[in-house]
Chains A and B, each alone.
Chain A
Amino acid sequence: MRRPSARAAIIPLLGLVAATMLIPVPAAAQDKYPSRPIEFIVPWGPGGGADQVARKIGQLLEADLKVSLPVVNVPGATGQTGHAKLLSANADGYTIEVMTGDTFALAAMPNSPIKLAEVIPIGILIQQASGFFVAENSPMKTWADVEAEAKKRPLKVAITGFNSPDDLSVSYFAARGMKLQPVPYAKPGERYTSIIGGHADLLYEQAGDVRNFVDSKQIRPVIFFYGSKVDAFPSIPTSTSLGHDITLPQFRVVLVKAGTDPARVKMLSDAIGKAAQSPDFKAYLKEQYADEASYVPADKTQAYMQKWLDEARHLMAAIAAKK
């Protein structure tokens, strides 16, 4: 048998070497920031609102900061699993997180695992009305139908996780005599399947997140939790118009870990501000049925979140008083 030449063996080897060069190997932390990819934690599964906004803003930031912002989905426990990941990373500005109102509502509880002091918020990206949705083929067509049905039998409500605004909203109505059973689905895909497949009777969601299901006539909103009518759905009642003191709009904020170098924080928040003002992002907000003036700059974010938290506490107290 002819022994193949060593050269023949070298060729695949060279291929391997060439292939290794394609892997982006991060350089050691240097003075220049950012000099390597910034990990963008989404504490929810792919395809949901938090994921969508992170990927959108990440793409805009990439062009500005000249590094990539890979999204890492870490779903679970109302966003606490992903948040734990931010807190276990170094405070060097190379790990950021998009937190949603769902997770932040946990901060309203005593002994909460979520503490505003452990993080630095660097800008609110999006504010949206949440609502209850039913499947298009459901016998319940309106909020009045839902109220009537929930007096007769327990309705299952697909929510993101326990103690979220979803859960609070469900408790609010449960405290008013409606039979509602919240069921947590951390992965948006499972949550949407549960309503379309008929495993849940109601879905708590923001209209923009489920736009393709709404547009394809698979689900429809029955009530929005908002202070004013939602422009795209003029016929759908709002909590305020029905006399319910419950709004808690969904918001999504970008965080870095407390202790991060202020110069880096400023650099990131400036970049986010620029991206949030871009026509591209404005178009995205419109597509998401979001508030046009969603963006809150870093210096005002803390106050916004504090106010939101007070509202959540107020709601919790109201629920507790009613029970």
Chain B
Amino acid sequence: MTVRTKRQRAVTALTATMCAVLVAGLAACGNDGDSAGAGGSGDGEVSLRIAWSGSDERNTRTQDALDLYMEQNPNVDISVEYTTATNFWDRLTTQVAGGNAPDIIQMSGQVLSQYATSDVLLDLGPYVDDGTIDVDGWEEEPLEAQTIDGTLYGIPPGLDGHALVYDATKLQELGIDPPSETWTWSEFADLAREIAAAGGEGYYGTEDGGPQYEVLQSFLNQRGKQLFEGNELGFEAQDVKDLWQFWGDLREDGAAVPADLQTAQGANPENSGVVQGYAAMDFTTSSQYTNFVGLSPGEVGIATYPFGDDGAPGQVWRAGMAWSITRTSPNAEEAAKLIDFLVNDSEAGALLQTTRGVPASPSIREEVRAAVDETEQRSFEHLEVVQAHDAQVTPVLPTGFGDFNDLYQRLYYEFAFGRMSLDEAVDQLMSEAPGLLG
């Protein structure tokens, strides 16, 4: 009997332990979600969640700025969620689907319409109107690039411009002059061929710009066209054929890198031929310039995208990123104040510097410009150069842009690998792309 009672006790004790473990586990699981709704309680305590993606440097700098904000506003408690770009959108989509979205999101122009039209994002117009977010003296275009049907969905922290980078050391070695500010596509092609001829076996004049939609965008602007007109394609088959043929010729002559080398590149500057030392030029944006400089053994120069042969500049600058507030945020007002701090506060600007591009606020831009080193200053200069040439700001991209971009790249490579003829590839683009948009 005693023995059994002991066993019985042991069982009870175990049962209790298991319960405790389970309850603790469930409670721990639940915690994450609770904290989101806990803000705005009676004692003036506010908690905000902010999510972004990017490099380690961006993470540290942003964290520093947020720490400063919490110091200045002891009632605000900010929790951060940052990941690499690859994981960021999966995570965010899941959070939104689960009703657990952060208060503030670092939006991307590539998915802004998707999120805005799915009613995920809050109209920031009222906060701009009542001065919570101050955009006085800002250029209008970057804000227009976050506006859909008259509703403002984001405040861009930074700007950048389409840019071409080149291996300045190599050009000097080969005795070839770097590009001028207003060079043309013909001059570009000549230069690429000249470099390839002088550079010898296995060295190419330029990375292949064919798969990049930014190159198409500039090319179309020079023809007075757009990538998109609303949710429709803004170009015709012939435009793409002309552009792809241009790159096909360069590849054939060994002036642009072959397709297999190009696909290996991915989107990272560290894999670019300019950094790896097998190509002299690459197409990128001014915000990547300092990365190219940091990664390259030699000097890296920055130039404009080539102009049209008739002299049409077709230059592009962007506000490709924005701080947005989610509709489900219980503390939208506080979130708006934090956004204002991040984009307009002078101390925050000093901490954040150019981690999201050249600051969008003109006054912060000047302050940061004075503080950064010479290399970074060149990305400020580049933006001005681009702006000086009647440049366009990348407008809001339609929903389905990501799918369009994938299709565009895939078909370009079908052509580049010789698996499809130019006509087949472009015709497929023109027939499939419209169905992806809108």
Do A and B assemble together?
no
